[in-house]
Amino acid sequence: MAELPFDRQATLIQRTRDALADACSLEVDEITAFRAGRHSASRETFDALAKLGFDIDASVNVRYGQYLPASMIRRRTPFALEEGLLELPTTYIRPEFPSRLWLRTFPSGTITATANTLRTDRRFCSGKRAIQALVSSSPGVSLYFHPYDATEYHDLENDGPTFRRRFERFVARLIKDNAVFQTAGDVDANGFDFGTII
C-alpha cells in the first residue's frame, strides 16, 4: 500500500470500504477505522484516510517501519496524527537482556501485541508468558489478530482450538485483574489529548 501514489491508495481504500459495508449491511460512513495490510502505510495513506472521512488508523507497528519516520514507529500508545486521525499503534515491549523474553525476541528485540505472539512458543519462552509480560508493562494494549489464527486454515503453530483456549485464558486473567476493555471507537470518543505528530 505505502508504495502506491495517493490517488491509487484512496481508490483501493474506498473500494474495500464499500465492499465491507455491503457485506456487513452497513452504511459506508459507519466504517471509520483502518489498518493497512502488512502495516504498509505512509503519509499518503493517512492523507487518503482523512480525505475519505476515517477517524482511526491502526497501521503503525514497530516491526514495519520503512515508510514512516522512526519517531512515529517507536510510539506505543495512541496518538493524534496531523491529518486528524487517531493512531492506535500495535503495542510492543523491548525485553531486558539477558532474559528468556529477550532470547525469544532475537534478533528483532521486540514483543508485539499480536495473535502470533500469543500463539507461538520460542526459545524456552511461551507465547502466554510473552503476552503477559507485555500486558504487565504497558498502561494499555492495542492487540490485533486475524480470524485465521482461531482456525486451522493455515496449519500454524498452536492455531485453532489451542489458540482459542490460550486467548480465553488470557482474557479471563485480564478480567480477574479488572482490566478495562475498549474498542478503538471508545478510545476515539473519549477525546483524549494524545499529542500530535507533525
Question: What is the C-alpha to C-alpha distance for residues 120 and 45, in angstroms, rounded to an integer?
Answer: 31
pLDDT for 43 equals: 94
pLDDT for 141 equals: 86
* pTM to 2 decimal places: 0.85
Per-residue pLDDT of the chain (198 residues; tens, 9 = 90+): 999 999 999 999 999 999 999 999 999 999 999 999 999 999 999 999 999 999 999 999 998 889 999 999 999 888 889 898 999 999 999 998 888 899 999 888 899 999 889 988 988 899 999 999 999 988 788 888 888 888 888 888 888 899 999 999 999 999 999 988 888 778 766 655 555 554
Contact between 51 and 71 under an 8 Å Cβ cutoff? The reply is: no
